[in-house]
Amino acid sequence: MAIRIGAAIGLAAMLCACAAPAPTPAASGTRAPTPTPWLHPEGVLGETRTLNGMEMVYVPAGEFLMGSTQEQVDRVTESCVAGCDREWFAAEYPQHAVTLDGFWIGKYEVTNAQYRAFMEAGGYTHEEWWSEEGWAWLQRAKRKQPSFWTKAPWNGADYPVVGVTWWEADAFARWVGMRLPTEAEWEKAARGTDGREWPWGNEWDAARTNSAESALERTTLVGLYPAGASPYGALDMAGNVSEWCSDWRVDDYYAVSPARNPTGPLTGLERVARGGEFDAHRDWVRCAARGWGAQHSNSIRMGFRVVAPTTTGK
């Protein structure tokens, strides 16, 4: 599968108590309502709300530093504990200022319990929750559930759902009235406005995340590392599982990226994934590290979280 291991992705999921309520499935022969991303009122820094059953934290509008400086790219390349290729980190350059509208982002990654609600609501049988391309893929693949869905230890209710393709993650987000985060939204939610290396700061601390240094070699319950919270209160934005973003991946995009609300290139071969997974070393769970995967990738390391735009946002 076309996932860069280590440069691939990561983040944790929501508790069972936060599982999204299942919309009533359409009767046989009828169409389910067409999903539209719901707009929500703006919040304040540090605020948490439950939106459509999903526990969300608010990221205020404003500017932040995205990416890495040349010095940071050089330093992480030289010190990389996994024998890394410099080109993997070069895509983080140049560091640039980005201004975003305010938004709500999942406090946790989507869990198996929440994804089960989507499945039980007819998520794999109602075209309305899928993009045109995603629905065409689903019909070809004849897929009924994520990979590893029935395999322990990956299928615990309060563990992040894994083995989901980009299309499945996108369909869930549509079903719950939200969407996948842009790469810029994800990075701001992870690092705040001060350009920090990891969600908690600039000093590496293996006790704050489920990464390769933990040597667990598997996912953990979402929210298990509260000391690793981002400046906005989002958990597991480093390690555990990689997270799909909405953007196509192009290595030199940062050089031409819009300064306000960037949404990524118009086309590409792979989608961005962020956060670094349970077997990724510290270099790959940094806030600026960029992972990627083909849309059909369904890795045991891959999960996602969702974003809700505000009334004044995109």
Mean pLDDT of 122-145: 97
Give SS3 for 273.
strand
Stretch among 41-45, 83-87, 148-152 having the lowest mean pLDDT = 83-87
Q: Report domain extents, the chain.
A: 16-20+39-309
Residues 73-110: b if buried by 16+ CB within 10 A, e if exposed: beebbeebeeebeeebbbbbbebeebebbbbbbbbbbb
Q: Is residue 274 scored above 70 in pLDDT?
A: yes
* Mean pLDDT (whole number) for 104-113: 98
pLDDT, the chain, mean: 87
User: Beta strand pairing status for 290-293 and 271-274?
Assistant: antiparallel
Architecture per CATH, 16-20+39-309? Alpha-Beta Complex (3.90)
Q: How many CB atoms lie within 10 A of CB 46?
A: 11
Q: CA of 209: how far to CAs of 4, 237, 278, in Å?
A: 20, 9, 9
Summarize the confidence of residues 91-112 as an average pLDDT: 97
* pTM, 2 dp: 0.88
Please state which of the ranges 45-49, 76-80, 236-240, 276-280 shows the lowest mean pLDDT. 76-80
Residues 275-287, mean pLDDT to the nearest whole number = 96
Q: Report yes or no: 159 and 148 within 8 Å, Cβ to Cβ.
A: no
Contact 310, 18 (CB under 8 A): no
- The SS3 of residue 310 is strand
CA atoms of 303 and 70, how far apart (whole Å): 30
Cα-flanking dihedrals φ and ψ of residue 57, to 5°?
-115, 150
Percentage with pLDDT > 70 across the chain: 85
- Where do the H-state alpha helices sit in 204-308? none
Class of residue 226 by CB neighbours under 10 A (exposed 0-12, middle 13-18, buried 19+): exposed
Please tell me the predicted confidence (pLDDT) of residue 78.
84
Share of the chain above pLDDT 90, in %: 78
Confidence (pLDDT) at 16: 28
Both tokens of residue 24? 């009533």
